[in-house]
Structures are given as structure tokens and as C-alpha cells.
A and B are shown apart, each in its own frame.
Chain A
Amino acid sequence: MPEPTASARVELRCSGSGGQGILLAATIIAEAATALGRRVVQTQSYGPEARGGASKAEVIIAEEPIDYPEVRRPDVSLVLSQAAYEKYAADTRPGGLLIYDSGLVEADPGAAGVTHCGLPFTQVATDELGKKVVTNIIALGALVARSGVLPADAVEEAVLSRVPPRFRELNEKAYRLGLRLAAGAADAETTTKDGLTPTTAPAPGS
């Protein structure tokens, strides 16, 4: 796992369909970064429907003030639906990381210079925890482990302070499951071998 670089700017995009908890996952990353004293902007985009549709939630973490708040070339993409994959995956910055739910997304590993990492988040949530609802937290754990954008314990703290007390244990399990899942997995398909360095990717337009 690459060491988080304190001075770097990193842009993340979580996408899926409404109801999958991608906004919560993005918010938790943003809260963890806030607690670490970083500059943070989190934005979102979704349609008028409460469930379904392709929606996204984005986070920019930086040391300098963040002006334009949206993410166009994410260093790290998390994709939890086929529709979101088709709409957003190609935006991932060359040299970046694309994490997706391998049970829900048929990915094209040919995407230029992007490390693909497919893991069965939804299936693991159902099989191991009996709760599909924590798919987003498992995916969050995997994202943190694979990308190294923030220290894993800082994000865990943010997970636990976000969820109601009675769901803490479940979410703690889910998050750690995600960390382990990513640590144990080789890249599903890898098109770049020069290693994953999303935290040192240049800022857009710089």
C-alpha cells in the first residue's frame, strides 16, 4: 500500500445507483480527511429518483484551498453498478485506480493505464455478514486499503462516528472485511505495472 502523501491532492469518485450508500461512503472519507486537518470538498450528483439511476459522489482532498469543486478525472474511482461504470469509469485518470463490484459490473480491463480491482462487495456483504446494506462500507474499506488515500484507522474512526451506536459493530466488521478483502486480492485485471500512485497524481490542470 503506498504511503499517504500529506502534500498531495487526490480526487475520488464513488458511483453507483441511488440507495447503494455511495454518498455516505464519500461523506465518511471527507469526514476522515477533515479530522486529519486536510482541505476537503465533497459534492454529489443524482437524478430526481430516490432509488436507481446513475449517481455519483465525489471528494477532493488537498492542502491548498479548493476552488472548482467537482471531479472530472478521478485518481480513484469506486463503481458499484454497470450503469455507473458505463457513465463514469472512463474518466479515471491514467495511472489511477478503478475499484468495482465484480458481481455487478462487467469491466473492460482495456481502459488505458488504469489499475482495475474487481471485488465482490455485494456478495460478500450478503454471504459473510447477512446484510447487503453494508456493501458500501466494505467497498470503502477496500478503497482505503488499495488506494492509501487516507490512513485506514482514521477512516475507521469516521465510519464509527457516523453510524448509530447499535450498528457500530456491524459497520466495524464490514469496514475491516473490506480492508482484508483488498489486501488479499490481486488486481483482477491490471493494465499498468508501474504501481499505484494515486496520491502523487498531479492536480487537474496543473
Chain B
Amino acid sequence: MAISVTEAAKAGVPVLLQGNEAVAEGAIAAGVRFYAGYPITPSTEIAEVLSRRLPEVGGTFIQMEDEIASIAAVCGASLAGAKALTATSGPGFSLMQEMIGFASMAQIPCVIVDVMRGGPSTGLPTDPAQGDVMQARWGTHGEHSVIALVPSSVEECYTLTVEAFNLSEQYRTPVIILSDALIGHMREAVTLPHPDKLRVAERGMPDCDPDEYDTVSSTIDNILPRPPLGSPFKVHVTGLVYNRRSGAPDTADPATAADLGRYLREKIYHHRDAIVRVEEVEMDGAEVAIFAYGSVARSAMAVVKKARAQGARVGMVRPITLWPFPTAAVARMAEQVRTVIVPEMNIKQMSWEVEAAVKGRAKVVDYGRVDGELITPEEILELVKPEFYYHRWEDT
């Protein structure tokens, strides 16, 4: 490449970038200085780029023996104060689930990229899918909350990686980026934001005396940063239920468990409005809406353009944040349109969630494809047409 990605971003010139490369470069821009991973198609380029880029910025890259060790190393690095990333695909994402639960429980900021491919098991290793969206929410056991972001473009692979680290630091939680084989391997000409224009959240330190640290505790509205291991602060990290103030394990008292359990959920859900991002396209006056995310949203966008060009009022609601689920935006859409079409490269995973939020206020039409092919605009248009009873469709 004639010009580095950072130089191009500073100069404001377009650069051809692959989705996976954009995740890696976004991570560097976000201040990531630790990556541990195990290569797997279609995520491997993230590791490849970071194996070269991290040493350049004084960071550490480790290829681990497997995905369990990878996420464990990421948790360790984060507890030591580093912004840490791992990337994988379906089979590796399955292996990581237990440690994602540990990161949720112990409130360890970290980012996991899952570049979704066809599954289950080895499945369709080189083809895109969206079959891990529920696993991102509920893959680890027990009551927990999580944040998951879904990029639809190479540019978003970059910006959402920065955003993922900001959310992860702010809410002290694992954040999952749900890319897919199409977005991850796709190259686009992108003009990236100037590094100075990016908001990058830093970890920070508690502003109390180290001796008083175990007497203070985070509230829902004030999530205190955790000092790194090795600092003068005493930090207790455990996967057991613990006392939220001291951090010490306490499994005997139901009130302590209830307090922690509610806190772990509410620190995300209470801030849902601040966390959730949704793009609404042509929703002004829309009678039918397409709810689409990730690569499928690109096909949905083509349908919105075609339908609007023919005078059919079709809009799109595109969740950028998939978890927590954008319930408010879906409820708003349900009040407005008569039909919501949910095309996705899985069978009903999100349409089920859409239905729960629509609560019968609109018809929900689900459309799933699990053959490793991107749903086409024509397929979606065929679902749209019957929703406009009297509209005469020209050939498209």
C-alpha cells in the first residue's frame, strides 16, 4: 500500500480497505495495545494486520494455543490496564463463551470480534452468515448483559471498533462486534475520520485514596474505573458472586447476589438510550419497514431506493447496536408501519425479537437464508410487493 491507513485518515484521502483490516486499524486508533487470538477464517486478517501493527506502536501480539486461552489472555491484559482485543469466528466464538461470562461477571472491559460464517460447527467456513446473533446475547450462561454492534460497511468496521472500546471502558463490560464473512473480506474505498476527531475513552483511575477503595462502589450512574492490577489499589477479581463494594466473594447472602445480579444487568439496560444506535432510512411516511442489519442491510438499502423511486413508501430501520436490543426504535416503527420485513442470514433469530417488541402492532414477515449467500435485493423486494395491494410495480 502506497500510503498507511493512519496517514490516509490524517490527510482525508480515500484508501481501499478490507473490513477485517479496518477492524484492526480501528483497534489501533482506539488505543488497543494487546491482541491475543487464534486464527480462523474469515477473521484471520485481523490477527495478520495486528501482528504487524501492534509491535509498531509498542503493543503486544500473541498467537495463543486456542480461543479459550485467547480470551483468557485478553481478560488478563485488560485487568493489567491494557485495552485488549480478540477476533474469531463461529467455532472459536463458541469456545470463548465461558470467559465472556467471566468478563461480564468480573466487569472486565474487552472487545471480541466475531466474523460470522455459516454454521453450526465447521459449517461454511468461507461464507457469510448471521447465525451468531443470539449466541452473542445468550452464549454464556447465567443472567448477564452484553453490548453487541453490527457493522454494515468497511467504514463502520473501523468506527464501531473505536466505539466498542469506548462502550467497553465506560460500562466495564465485554463488547462484541458481529461482523460477517462478507463485510470482513469486502474491500471498500473509505475516507476515515481524522484521528483527532475520534472520541477515544480512556480507562482512568478512581479518585479516592487507595486505602478507601474497598469502601466505595460503583453506582448505575457512576461506574468507577477499576485500577490496574499492580497499582496501589487492592483489587479482587473473581468469577464467584461478590460483594460489589469490597469485591470479595460472598455466595452466602442472597441480598448480595441480588444486588450484584441487578447491577450487572442495569448498568447496561439503564443506559440503553445512550448506548443504542439505530439508522433510520426513508422512514418518513413509510408504510412498510425493513428491519435489517449487517451485510443484509445493504440489500435492504437497495430495495428502499428502488421502492421509493416507484413511489412505494418503504423505509429501513437498521440496528447498529443489536444488543441491548433497540426496543424503543422498533416500537416507534411498529406504531407507524403496517408491516415489518425482517430478512436475515439465519432463521428467525432477530425477527423473533422484533415480534416481541412490535407486540402485534404491525405484521412481522420473517425471511431467512442459511446457504452462505447474501440475501439479494430482489428477494426482499418480492416480500415488499404484496404489502402494497394496489401498487403497480414496474420491472426492476
A residues contacting B by CB (< 8 A) are 27, 30-31, 33-35, 37-48, 66-70, 72, 161-162, 205
Contacts and interface: CB of A to CB of B under 8 A. Distances in A.
Nearest to B2: A161
Interface string B350-386: 0000000000000000000000001011100000000
Interface in B91-133: 125-127
Interface string B124-163: 0111000000000000000000000000000000000000
A72 to B, nearest CB: 8
A48 B125 contact: yes
Given A67-B299, A68-B299, A161-B2, A44 B185 contact: yes
B186 A69 contact: yes
Contacts of A66: 188
B240 interface: no
B122 to A, nearest CB: 8
Interface in B6-42: 14-16, 41
B14 A37 contact: yes
Contacts of B295: 69
B305 A67 contact: yes
A140 B188 CA distance: 20
A161 B185 contact: no
A33 B299 CA distance: 23
B205 interface: no
Nearest to A68: B302
A15 to B, nearest CB: 15
Range class of the B interface residue count:
20 to 34
Contact of A34 (B16, B126, B299, B302): B16
B126 A42 contact: no
B328 interface: no
Contacts of B222: none
A44 B125 CA distance: 14
Nearest to A46: B126
B298 interface: yes
A30 B16 contact: yes
A103 to B, nearest CB: 28
A72 B374 CA distance: 12
Contacts, number: 68
9 contacts: A27-B16, A27-B187, A30-B189, A40-B187, A45-B126, A67-B299, A67-B305, A68-B298, A69-B298
Contact of B182 (A30, A34, A43): A43
Interface of B: 1-2, 14-16, 41, 125-127, 182, 185-189, 295, 298-299, 301-302, 305-306, 374, 376-378, 396
Contact of B189 (A34, A48, A161, A162): A34
B186 A67 contact: no
B189 A43 contact: no
A205 B41 CA distance: 33
A40 B155 CA distance: 13
A13 to B, nearest CB: 15
Main secondary structure of the interface of B (DSSP, over half): mixed
A161 B378 CA distance: 38
Contacts of B299: 67-68
Given A44-B185, A48-B125, 14 more contacts: A30-B16, A31-B16, A34-B15, A40-B188, A41-B188, A42-B16, A43-B182, A43-B185, A46-B126, A67-B299, A68-B299, A68-B302, A70-B376, A72-B376
Contacts of B15: 34
Contacts of A67: 298-299, 301-302, 305, 377
A44 B18 CA distance: 11
Contacts of A27: 16, 187
A175 B186 CA distance: 25
A27 B301 CA distance: 25
A33 B378 CA distance: 28
Top 3 closest pairs, chain A to chain B, by CB: A34-B189, A42-B187, A161-B2
Nearest to A49: B126
Nearest to B299: A68
Contacts of A31: 16
B189 A33 contact: yes
B377 A34 contact: no
A48 B302 contact: no
A35 B16 CA distance: 8
Contacts of A162: 1
B377 A205 contact: yes
B126 A40 contact: no
A40 B182 CA distance: 15
B188 A205 contact: no
A34 B14 CA distance: 6
A45 B377 CA distance: 19
A47 B298 contact: no
B189 A70 contact: no
Nearest to B375: A68
A175 to B, nearest CB: 16
B302 A205 contact: yes
A41 B305 contact: no
Nearest to B295: A69
A161 B186 contact: no
